[in-house]
Homo-oligomer: A and B are copies of this chain.
Amino acid sequence: MTTKTPLILVTNDDGILAPGLAALVDVVRHLGDIIVVAPDSPQSGKGHAITIDVPLRLNKVDAFGEIEAYECSGTPVDCVKLAMNVIKKDRDFDLCVSGINHGSNEAINIIYSGTMSAAMEASLEGVHSVGFSLLDYSFDANFEPAKPFIKSICQYMLANNARKTRLLNVNIPTGSIEGMKVCRQGEARWVEEFREAKDPRGKDYYWLTGKFEITDDDPQADVNALRAGFISIVPSKHDLTDYTDIDALKPLEKQNGIHKV
């Protein structure tokens, strides 16, 4: 039985200076060898974007004492790709943790989230990954109550070699925490509004804003576990196939372009 020190990648989407990143480094720093690679500017809402049309910059920074840390000019997904293919190309990561995000990534937010996209990118490369998000968007959010739970989840991920690569979407409520609950991704939507105005030159502009609306009353949905005071843990995956619709679509196979343009 070998007891190799695990190699842990820490990243986020709020950027290298975000207090949520420092809180996450603080939790995992004694669980293994740590490498931090985070964007050099906030990248919220960047989803699974990658940078292909401009080159990327990567700078070593002294942000966390003796811990090896880098800032990158790209997206959260770029950070993970650089960590794996440039910084540590000769060694495999045992765990990737992303966050702690300042704000919720529950429900459909997972697809807009740079935090979760970074975690998913690592999982695509076979690394167990967790994205952590606190339901508080403020810069000075209090991450302390979440720390023991996050440590517990990281220790579980390091100790349990699952049959396949795991990707967890973990959201943490504010206020008193009742415990942890394994959930499914809840149904919710953003009711969008654009603030319309004119710039100083009289030209129209539109600024995205919106209200998060929960449309799910299942207690197993992450949205409802969170509102009951639980940390929600949603096992997630990158296969977006809707298997329930494959048979229904079979008639399409017979059409083979018989309708002329």
Within 8 A of B (CB), among A134-157: 147-149, 151-153, 155-156
Given A81-B208, A182-B253, A259-B148; A112-B48 close (CB under 8 Å): yes
List of B residues within 8 angstroms of A243 by Cβ:
184, 235
Total copies of this chain within the assembly? 2
Identify which of A2-10, A61-69, A90-98, A185-193 touches chain B: A185-193
A45 within 8 A of B: yes
Quote the shortest CB–CB distance from A162 to chain B (angstroms).
Answer: 7
CB distance A233 to B249 under 8 Å?
yes
A102 within 8 A of B: no
Residues of A with Cβ closer than 8 Å to B?
A: 26-27, 42, 44-53, 55-58, 77-78, 81-82, 84-86, 108, 110-112, 117, 120, 124-125, 147-149, 151-153, 155-156, 162, 166-169, 177, 179-185, 189, 192-194, 196-197, 199, 203-208, 233-243, 245-246, 248-253, 255-261
List of B residues within 8 angstroms of A181 by Cβ:
253
Other-chain contact of A56, B111, B180, B182, B205 (Cβ < 8 Å): B205
**Which single residue of chain B is at the shortest CB-CB distance from A42?**
B53
Q: A49-B49, A78-B208 are in contact. List 19 more A-B contacts (CB 8 A).
A: A47-B77, A48-B111, A57-B206, A58-B206, A86-B206, A110-B240, A147-B261, A148-B257, A148-B260, A152-B252, A166-B245, A168-B249, A180-B252, A180-B253, A184-B246, A185-B241, A233-B249, A234-B240, A235-B241
Q: Complex formed: what's the CA distance from A12 to B44 in Å?
A: 22
Quote the shortest CB–CB distance from A79 to chain B (angstroms).
Answer: 11
